[in-house]
């Protein structure tokens, strides 16, 4: 479950080759507006782990405060954020689930009820590479968690990927597929008071 823990604590490819070029750097208030308008979203993701292995799965987002990462076999991880807590389940493990305060992870930035990246204490960088706008975020109170770089393209604005650096030199990259927005997602997807499984849905 190392790769799942990294995802949460730093909360995730070089950009996919086919991404459209953007004309200019996106402003933080425009990115904030995009995130605030995203009530629900779901889609596939591909994760490139630090050891070069690849994991895939489905992400479900229900703002504010809720997200679920469901990993495909052979991985057995499910990560759920809800009730101000992030929980990591391994369906094949007999060990208790790992839990972390949502506020201690960069997940809290995009899951906030009112995203304002211009004022977020975790935002430490804002740059443009000719293709994507990157927002770098790090918890100033817990730098040992590392940092995340969120990458956005425009026309329309879309969150395309994040790159996770865990503070010890390890890097994980997550590429998002097209996010389907506005779908009804049941609250049971984000329940954290019981063992998570595919049967939650």
Residue 10 has pLDDT above 50, yes or no: no
Query: What pLDDT is recorded for position 193?
Result: 65
Q: Do residues 80 and 190 lie in contact, with contact meaning Cβ atoms separated by under 8 Å?
A: yes
- The domains of the chain are located at 2-177
| Average pLDDT, integer, range 57-77 | 92
CATH of region 2-177, choose from 2.50.20.10, 1.10.3720.10, 1.10.287.3510, 3.50.50.60: 2.50.20.10
pLDDT given for residue 97 in this prediction: 87
52-86 core/surface letters (b: 16 or more CB in 10 A; e: else): eeebebebbbbbebbbbbbbeeebebbbbbbeeeb
| DSSP symbol at 132 | -
| Average pLDDT estimate for 193-200 | 48
Q: Is the confidence at residue 88, as pLDDT, over 70?
A: yes
pLDDT tens digits, 98-128:
888 888 777 787 888 998 888 777 789 999 9
* E-only strand ranges, 28-97: 40-48, 54-62, 66-71, 77-82, 85-90
What is the predicted pLDDT for the residue at 20?
A: 46
Predicted confidence (pLDDT) at residue 139 exceeds the cutoff of 80: no
State the average pLDDT for the chain. 82
**pLDDT(153) > 90:** yes
> In terms of DSSP bridges, do strands 180-181 and 123-128 run parallel, antiparallel, or are they unpaired?
unpaired
Question: What is the pLDDT averaged over residues 32-53?
Answer: 93
Q: How far apart (Å, rounded) are the C-alpha atoms in residues 80 and 77?
A: 10
Assess whether pLDDT exceeds 80 at residue 22. no
pTM for the predicted model, two decimal places = 0.79
């Amino acid at each position: 479950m190392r790769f799942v823990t990294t995802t949460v604590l730093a909360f995730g490819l070089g950009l996919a080759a086919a991404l459209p070029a953007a004309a200019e750097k996106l402003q933080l208030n425009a990115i904030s507006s995009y995130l605030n308008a995203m009530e629900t979203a779901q889609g596939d993701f591909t994760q490139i782990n630090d050891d070069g292995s690849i994991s895939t799965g489905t992400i479900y987002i229900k703002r504010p405060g809720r997200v679920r990462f469901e990993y495909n076999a052979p991985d057995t991880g499910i990560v759920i954020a809800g009730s101000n807590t992030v929980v990591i389940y391994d369906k094949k493990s007999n060990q208790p689930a790992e839990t972390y305060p949502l506020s201690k992870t960069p997940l809290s930035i995009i899951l906030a009820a009112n995203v304002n990246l211009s004022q977020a204490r975790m935002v430490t960088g804002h740059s443009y590479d000719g293709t994507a706008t990157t927002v770098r975020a790090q918890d100033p109170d817990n730098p040992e968690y590392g940092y995340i770089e969120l990458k956005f393209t425009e026309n329309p604005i879309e969150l395309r990927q994040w790159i996770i650096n865990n503070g010890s030199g390890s890097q994980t990259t997550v590429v998002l597929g097209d996010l389907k927005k506005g779908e009804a997602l049941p609250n049971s997807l984000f329940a954290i008071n019981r063992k998570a499984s595919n049967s939650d849905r």
